[in-house]
Chains A and B, each alone.
Chain A
Amino acid sequence: MSDLYTELKKNIIEQLNLEDMEISDIDNDEPLFGDGLGLDSIDALELIVLLEKDYGIKLSDPEQGKEIFASVNTMAQFIQKNRTK
């Protein structure tokens, strides 16, 4: 697994306080919201903070989050393209 994926999962677990989860518990393609990991709208806000805090990416429109946060895969791809940190 590439470093980014491992690091991203670690950051997600920390930012979202997923206390009992390990990195290995999250699949790259698993839906993060709804069925799957079961994140909610508060988590979406936290992920927006994560993007800026850890990767220097500021979302101009929070609505973009819906596509970006679909899975770890989509997040990692977006970060690879846009990171400034």
Chain B
Amino acid sequence: MQGVAVTGMGIISSLGTTTEENLDALQKSKDGISIPEILHTSLKLPVAEIKWSNETLAQKLSLQTGHSCTRAALLGIHAVKEILEKSGFEKFPEDTGLISGTSVGGIDATESFFNEYSADSANRRFIRAQHPGFTTEKIADYFGLKKEVTTISTACSSAANAIMRGARLIESGQLQRVIVGGTDCLTRFTLNGFNSLKILSEEKNRAFDENRNGLNLGEASAFLLLEADQVCDKNKILGRISGYGNANDAFHQTASSENGEGAFLAIGKALKKAKLKSDEIDYINAHGTGTINNDLSESHALIRNFGNQVPFFSSTKGFTGHTLGAAGAVEAVFSLLSIKNQVIFQNLNFNQPILDTGLIPVIESQTAKIQTVLSNSFGFGGNCTSLIFSSNE
């Protein structure tokens, strides 16, 4: 089985348009929460919006007018471009695969043009954008990736699953390198959807706090370049993917079971894959959305896996909001930055532990010896995924 090295990463989020900008914001405790300005909506709720319009994004990517890139595709191309620019490749090698995770893919186009398609032909090139795969293909087309390209759509665990799938393809020797991650943009569809579920907070989200009252939606794209040990430049290794696991909560369509069964199983699988004992995890980047349901459920899962020795943990969604299908990749980047910089990023807006569990996240960024990071992503449909990143030593 081939080892899986992470040799590149790219990200665009409300914190910044590069990895460096994101790191800077994390270190300066500067969140990306604001109110919607680019998204046309009457809902004035806190969101983590990227303050670049589609026109700006397209311009920076030198796309011609009349391109058919959805906002999610524009963000995705931007993030992958960062990887390419730092990779030393002029073009990605021909056999490079692409696996992207997204919850709603190109629905930003559908909701804009739904009522126009019958009368107006100008935007009909976006009819197929409703398929999540369409967005992924726009990214593939931009970089000339023609071989194994696919899309995973499992709600909030999509990008984490894409990373896991890519790692598997490298381990089995089927691919030598693969770009994995995800992308999701703010849409009226998701903003109204989560609002109808009454799980959006009217304030900045307070993960793991007793008085938490919901999440903030965000948008982002993040990708990693995974390479097999035998082909990669050892100097470029940012970390390794040493463990992963996916399990299903099988409890409810959207809510998590109180004892966090799916999460508990996913974490267990990841530890087993990584051949690590629970006390060998240095830091957990939690899913921690700030909803009453998730944070309690996840806390129980952590206690079930780690007993009374729950490692340092935090949710970084206080910074980026919940970026849905991209979250797993955004937090993969943050996990790797954690390892690279030997730092734990704080859990913002925390005041009081959940009475039921007493768990306290890291509330001020601190340096620490970080060799292994567990990153959780849990989605609707009971889909629970945990990834373990390790330093290269």
Main SS of chain A's interface residues? helix
A34 proximal to B (CB < 8 A): no
Nearest neighbor of A40 in chain B, beta-carbon distance: B252
Nearest neighbor of B198 in chain A, beta-carbon distance: A62
**Cα distance A42–B255 in the bound complex, in angstroms:** 10
The residues of A that contact B42 with a CB separation of less than 8 Å are: none
**Cα distance A41–B198 in the bound complex, in angstroms:** 12
B105-143 contacts to A (CB < 8 Å):
none
A23 proximal to B (CB < 8 A): no
Among candidates A41, A45, A48, residue contacting B252 with C-beta atoms closer than 8 Å: A41
Nearest neighbor of A46 in chain B, beta-carbon distance: B196
Main SS of chain B's interface residues? loop
B56 proximal to A (CB < 8 A): no
B253 proximal to A (CB < 8 A): yes
The residues of B that contact A40 with a CB separation of less than 8 Å are: 252
B355 proximal to A (CB < 8 A): no
**Cα distance A42–B196 in the bound complex, in angstroms:** 10
B224-274 contacts to A (CB < 8 Å):
252-255
**Cα distance A50–B160 in the bound complex, in angstroms:** 37
B197 proximal to A (CB < 8 A): yes
The residues of B that contact A62 with a CB separation of less than 8 Å are: 198
B255 touches A45 (CB 8 A): no
Binding site for A on B (CB under 8 A): 196-198, 252-255
Binding site for B on A (CB under 8 A): 40-42, 45, 48-49, 62
6 further interface pairs, Cβ-Cβ under 8 Å (given A49-B196, A62-B198)? A41-B252, A41-B255, A42-B253, A42-B254, A45-B197, A45-B198
Between-chain CB contacts (< 8 Å), 11 pairs: A40-B252, A41-B252, A41-B255, A42-B253, A42-B254, A45-B196, A45-B197, A45-B198, A48-B198, A49-B196, A62-B198
